[in-house]
Structure 1
Amino acid sequence: MNIEKNIQQLFEQRQDIPLFYIESGSRLWGMASPDSDYDVRGFHLPSKAQYFDYKKHRDLIEIMDGDFDFVSYDLDKMFGLLAKSNPTVLEWVRAHIEYMNTFPEWDSFKQGLLECIDYSALYYHYLSLAQNGMKVMQVADNFTYKKVFYSIRGLLSAELALQQDMPALLITNLFAQVDANDPLRIWAENYLDIKKQQKEKALLSELEQVEILKQLEIKRTQLAAKNMPKSNHREQLYQYLTDYSQHLKQHFYG
């Protein structure tokens, strides 16, 4: 699939200005199944006419066309989420699979942004992600390799955020940040190749389900008992985003 061409054709039919698009989800994390979609995410700028129009324009573009799953936020929505240290949008910013990037001075912006984020937002997001995945897994015919790996990734990422350590996006790099004797790391390393070869809805055996659920619950309980303080960089983050937003709009709108 030619993602760059798909993005180009999409914006040929729109007034919006495309800025930045990446691959997200399982392909970004290095644990895609043979039937995984292409989850393309990113940001756009309203056209100059839209920006100065008194009418409110939608701040979101969503396209689902076969395996092409596309979501784009406008710049103000993006910055509003980054101001809350939104972990999902931060993953997009940190993504290593880029399809398009027209942001000026992107690397320096990203570096400054990551120095201001609130790790507590990451901690609670990833812990909640894992907990929800564990609940869904225990419903009939839902104990899939996909949901197990999503829960493992969530718990390991929450543990790193608790330590003020940025969780890696690529699952093998995430493993390297964790103790080599961690039971979840050991299980995931042993099963990663199997997961990649299975379809999205492939189920674990009953014996495997019991084993991994026990390890997930131990880690979840340990993390849930921790106290995660909020960041003291919020005002600094707000000002940083305000300054860069003004810079971008001057750059593109003149």
Structure 2
Amino acid sequence: MNIQQKIQNLFQNRDEHPLFYIESGSRLWGMASPDSDYDVRGFHLPSKAQYYDYRQHRDLIEIMDGDFDFVSFDLNKMFGLLAKSNPTVLEWVRAHIIYFNQFPEWDKFKDRLLEEVDYKALYYHYLSLAKGGMIADNFTYKKVFYSIRGLMSAELATQQIMPELSITELFEQIDANDPLRHWAEDYLEIKKQQKEKAQLPEAEQIQILKLLNAKIEILSSRKIEQTNDIEKLKNYLTEYSFNLKQHFYG
């Protein structure tokens, strides 16, 4: 599938300016199944007419076309989420599978942004993600690995370490003696060969559930305070937004 071409075709009949699009989800994390969708995520800038219009325009574009799953936020929505250190949007910013990028001075913007991250926001997001994957009647390989990834990322957030996006690189950030890491490393290749809805054998469900619950109990007892200066982050985003809009709108 030519993702770049699909993005360009999508915006041919739209007024918005495409800015930045990446691959998200399991393909980005290095644990895609044979039938995984292409989860394309990113940001756009409203047209000049939309920007100056007194009427409110929708801040979201959503397209589902077969296995092409496309979501785009407008710049204001994106920056509003980044101001809160939203972990999902931060993953998009950090993604290494980039299909389209028209952000001025992107690397400089990204590096400065990551210096201002609140690890407390990451911790709560990833811990919640892990708990959400533990649904007893839907114990798929996909859900289990989402939980594992969430718990490992939450643990690193308590140490103010940015979790790697690639699952194998994430493993390397975790203690080599961690039993959850051992289980995940053993079963990653099996997960990649299974379809999205394939469930673990019952005996394995019991084992991994025990490991997940033990890790959740440990992490839930930890205390983490806000780690950034929120006003400093907001001021930086305001400055960048102003310059970017001047660049495109003139």
TM-score (norm. length: structure 2): 0.99
- Counterpart of 2:15, as a letter, is Q
Q: Secondary structure at the match of 1:15?
A: coil
Counterpart in 2 of 1:222? 218
1:161 aligns with 2:157: yes
Superposed, which structure 2 residues align to 1:61-100 within 5 Å?
Answer: 61-100=61-100
Structure 1 position 231, deviation (Å): 2.5
TM-score (norm 1): 0.98
Letter in 2 for 1:246: F
1:2 aligns with 2:2: yes
C-alpha displacement of 1:233: 1.3
What is the letter of the counterpart of residue 200 of structure 1?
E
Determine the C-alpha separation between the residues in 2 that align with 1:233 and 1:179: 30
Residue 152 of structure 1 is matched in structure 2 by: 148
The corresponding residue for 2:247 is 251
Alpha-carbon distance between aligned partners in 1 of 2:172 and 2:183, rounded to the nearest angstrom? 14
Decide whether the 8 Å contact of 2:116 with 2:229 is kept in 1: yes
Query: In structure 2, what residue type is equivalent to 1:52?
Result: Y
Query: Hey, what does 2:187 align to over in structure 1?
Result: 191
Letter aligned with residue 149 of structure 1: F
Are 1:240 and 2:226 an aligned pair?
Answer: no
Deviation at residue 232 of structure 1 after TM alignment = 3.7
Letter in 1 for 2:49: A
Structure 1 consecutive aligned stretches of length 4 or more whose deviation exceeds 6 Å: none
Unpaired runs of 5+ residues, structure 1, are none
- SS of the equivalent of 2:22 reads strand
Q: Which residue of 1 aligns with 2:58?
A: 58
**What amino acid is aligned across from residue 57 of structure 2 in structure 1?**
H
Asked if 1:19 is matched to 2:19, the reply is yes
Map 1:119-134 onto structure 2 (within 5 A): 119-134=119-134
Residue 229 of structure 1 aligns to which amino acid in structure 2? E
What is the Cα deviation at residue 132 of structure 1?
Answer: 1.4
Q: In 2, distance between residues paired with 1:155 and 1:187?
A: 14
Cα separation, 1, equivalents of 2:117 and 2:71: 23
Query: CA separation in 1, counterparts of 2:243 and 2:91?
Result: 23
Could you tell me which runs of 5 or more consecutive residues in structure 2 were left unpaired when the two chains were aligned. Answer: none
SS at match of 1:70: strand
* Structure 2 residue corresponding to 1:174, chosen from 170, 173, 197: 170
- Counterpart CA distance in 1 for 2:243 and 2:53 is 20
Aligned residue number for residue 118 of structure 1: 118
Change (3 A) 1:235 1:53: same
Aligned length: 250
